Amino acid sequence: MKLILVGNPNVGKSSVINTLTGSHFFASNYPGTSTEIEKAILKINGTEFEFYDTLGVYSIYSDREEGRVTRSLLEEDRHDLIINIVDASNLERNLVLTYELLERGYSILVLLNQVDRARDLGIQINVAELTQILQSPVIAFSATNNEGVSEFRQFLEQLIIKPHAAEDKISQQKGQQRLILTEDFSCSGNCGNCSISKATCSLDLDRKLAEKARKTAQMVSSVSSPASHNLLNRVQNFIDRPYIGTIVLLLLAYLGLVVLTKFISFSEGPISSLLEPLSNLLHNWILSVMPPGFFAVVLAKAIPEGLVIPFTIIMPAMLMVSLLMALLEDSGLLPRYSVAMERFGRLFGVSGQAVIPLSLGFGCRTPAVMATRILPNDAQRFIVITLLSIVIPCAATVGVIVMISAKFQASLAVIVLTMLIVMMILGMLLSRLSPREEAFIYELPPLRIPMAKNVWSKIKLRFAGFFTEVLPLLLLMSIAIRALIESHLLEIFNGMEHFTRMLFGIPAEAFVAVLITIFQRYLAPLVLLNLDLTAREATIALSMIALSLPCLPVMVVTVRELGFKSLIKILLMGFTTSAVVGVVLNLILPV
Amino acid sequence: MNSTDMRKGQKAVVRSFSKGQGMERRLSEMGIRPGTEIELLEKHPFKGPLLFRVGQSRIVLGRNIASNLEVEIPD
């Protein structure tokens, strides 16, 4: 049986699916977390229920991307039931969508989510009365404390016995046929013969639905004084204040950065001293089991190296960034940065909303590219994806940069400053090409205390990439690079020594490391750590690496999101940026 | 008057939006439509965005959008 979840942004659709089916979809506390329709399966008494998690929409007629995606799912495929997730603490606004669905003749089940939060706010909803008015089943639900879960399961069991119960009821009572929504749709009523312009007509009908929703919400809900005029509300009011709030947010960001770098440098020692005997053991074991020769030497060096580097450098960074990102997302702080940074974003030629994908990029840039869908138009998305691809360092890259700069005493300050300046110049140049549209409309989610369960499941999800992607890739590349070094093939590049020294002030081998970042930025240390670099050389090489090309997964997603042409443009800009950074730093850094 | 003229903590009723059907539609979807009461919670300096309470939600509007939103302070 196919069930589609439809609801306003940030009402908790993904959390509801996670609660009902035990799946692990990304659920965060900001509008626009889900960027793709996802499917989860629940089996009850041998019947398979397919739940489709859609993108949040305020209206099924929305002409934005999320509206189109959700609409096509509703109209193209056959489904058995729509589960309309309604935020109980914001009933009036949510019911507009409910009435849109009912008006189209869809059979729906209303899941009144976040009833616990509504109660905290002093809002009581009469579920029986709402059921009566909507002529559709309504279940009070909370994904946080599992309220309503058993009732929902009972409903599904009923559905197995009588699949079309809900549908029959609605079509009989309303005597309506389901209307097919078409792509060029711009009006929410049967006004084929109407003389009023479509846009006006649609707004007029929207008003009628809104009025209906307002009346219903008033009839079924009673508001008493909030059960707990809680601390969280006071903190929220404080954070949302323009001056002091912005300062607090910036301090928190700085604190996060300090925690991250301290964590990386503190954990490196214990982890490597723990791994050292193991890697020695591995080294000796490989030498003893393999016939002596080139391959034995390569593998004996490369395998321990390919295991130690990811565990000491990349793992701590990925862990800490995952934790910090989860806290930012689940607390509702992340979108507050968008608001505080709205004016600041103009310097970079991006809207405040860009803060969300840009900061997600510090975790992993691949999902961050997908998150650019919350931006108003393709021009904005191109700017942000370019900045993500060239400037923003992902968790793994941060680990690599911090660790290598520590080894060669490279200047982290110069590297960070270079990145900031490049981001500003690049953003400004790009926004000249495609002027930014002033269209900042955003709904701020309520502040919440992150749930340990959700934070943990996110860390696990983000960290899974370490074992499936980072570790195998680094191991393979480590072997390849070690083979190149041992075979003295890299010495071919020594002919370029004069050229790379003059242009970028770095040895040819370090330039090879820069070129290797084409595959993955975090592969660069495999080469760099084997070299003997001065602080100046390491600073330049790391800056060139930090500001270069997107990794392969980001390239693939970019093609999917913006097309091949955009990717080529980004790659060309990446090459140019990296070269310009090298030349400029070589000119200005004291020898 | 337009919504940028409101004072912090002041409540007003939305009259109309004077720019672009697309934007009006978006505002309407988010609950800002003629007749709705909105409250100005915060106004960010340097022509920054404005934070409104609309029903139970907190909605942020960029200055450009807010300056096209006509409101009326009830007597």
Question: Chain A: residue nearest B54 by CA?
Answer: A93
Which residues are within 8 A (CB) of A133 and not within 5 positions of it... i.e. 6 or more apart? A216, A219, A220
Give dist(CA A137, CA A148) in Å, integer: 13
Cα distances from A290 to residues A245, A280, A287, A300, A427, in angstroms, run: 62, 16, 6, 9, 53
Chains A, B: CB contacts within 8 A come to 105
Give me the phi and psi of B71, to 5 degrees please. Answer: -130, 165
From the list B28, B33, B48, the residue facing A342 with the nearest CB is B48
Confidence at residue A306, expressed as pLDDT on a 0 to 100 scale:
83
| Dihedral of the alpha carbons of A568, A570, A575, A577, in degrees to the nearest 10 | 160
Helix (H) or strand (E) holding B72: strand B69-72
Domain coordinates of chain A in residue numbers? 2-223, 242-434+464-588
B66 in contact with A, Cβ within 8 Å: no
pLDDT at B50: 94
Nearest to B62 among A89, A242, A439 (CB): A439
* C-alpha distance from residue A489 to each of A299, A530, A533 (Å): 17, 15, 20
How many helices (DSSP H) and strands (DSSP E) are in chain A? 27, 9
* Amino acid at residue number A234: R
Question: Which pLDDT belongs to residue B55?
Answer: 86
| CATH no. for A2-223 | 3.40.50.300
At A173 the pLDDT is 43
The 10s digit of each residue's pLDDT in A292-310 is 888 999 999 888 888 887 8
Cα A15 to its chain centre, rounded Å, is: 16
Q: Which residue of chain B has the CA closest to A218?
A: B55
Among residues A122, A125, A94, A96, which one has the least CA distance to residue A221?
Answer: A125
Establish if B19 touches chain A: CB-CB under 8 angstroms: no
User: Residue A242: its chain B contacts at CB < 8 A?
Assistant: 42-45, 48
Q: What is the pTM of this model?
A: 0.80
At how many degrees (to 10) do helices B21-29 and A198-220 cross?
10
Give A242→chain B minimum CA distance, Å: 5
Residue whose token pair is 């405040």: A352
Number of domain units in chain B: 1
Residue of A nearest to B8 (CA): A241
Q: Is A61 in a helix, a strand, or coil?
A: coil
Is B23 within 8 Å of A202 when comparing Cβ atoms?
A: no
CB-based contact A343:B47 (threshold 8 Å): yes
Residue range of the domain that includes B12 = 3-72
Query: How far is Cα A287 from Cα A303, in angstroms, rounded to an integer?
Result: 12
Cβ-nearest to B62 among A96, A242, A342? A342
Question: CA A118 to CA A86: how far, in whole Å?
Answer: 12
Sequence-ordered list of residues with C-beta below 8 angstroms from that of A169, at least 6 positions apart, any chain: A107, A135
Residue-by-residue pLDDT tens, chain A, 591 positions:
889 999 999 998 989 999 988 888 878 888 877 777 888 999 888 889 999 998 899 988 887 778 888 888 888 768 889 999 999 999 999 999 999 999 888 889 999 999 998 988 889 999 999 999 999 999 999 988 889 999 999 999 888 887 655 554 444 444 343 444 443 444 444 444 444 455 555 667 778 888 899 999 999 998 887 655 678 888 999 999 999 999 999 899 889 878 887 887 788 789 888 988 999 999 999 999 989 888 999 999 888 888 887 888 778 878 888 888 889 889 999 889 888 888 777 767 777 778 878 888 887 788 788 878 777 678 888 999 999 999 998 888 888 888 888 889 999 999 999 999 999 899 888 887 765 555 788 899 999 889 898 899 888 887 887 888 778 877 887 888 788 878 887 778 878 888 899 999 999 888 888 887 765 666 776 778 878 889 999 999 999 999 988 877 788 888 888 989 999 999 999 999 999 999 999 999 998
pLDDT at A130: 95
Token pair for A62 = 């929305």
* Residues of chain A with C-beta less than 8 angstroms from the C-beta of B9: none
Predicted confidence (pLDDT) per residue in A102-134, tens digit = 988 888 999 999 999 898 888 999 999 999 999
Is A444 in contact with B24 (Cβ distance < 8 A)? no
Sheet bearing B37-43, strands edge to edge: A441-444, B57-61, B50-54, B37-43, B11-17, B69-72
Q: Which residues of chain B make contact with A64, given a CB cutoff of 8 A?
A: 26
What residues pair up with B14 in beta bridges, in sequence order?
B71
> Any idea what the CATH number is for the domain that residue B45 is in?
2.30.30.90
Quote the ipTM score.
Answer: 0.93
CB atoms within 10 A of CB A519: 15
Residue A32's pLDDT is what? 76
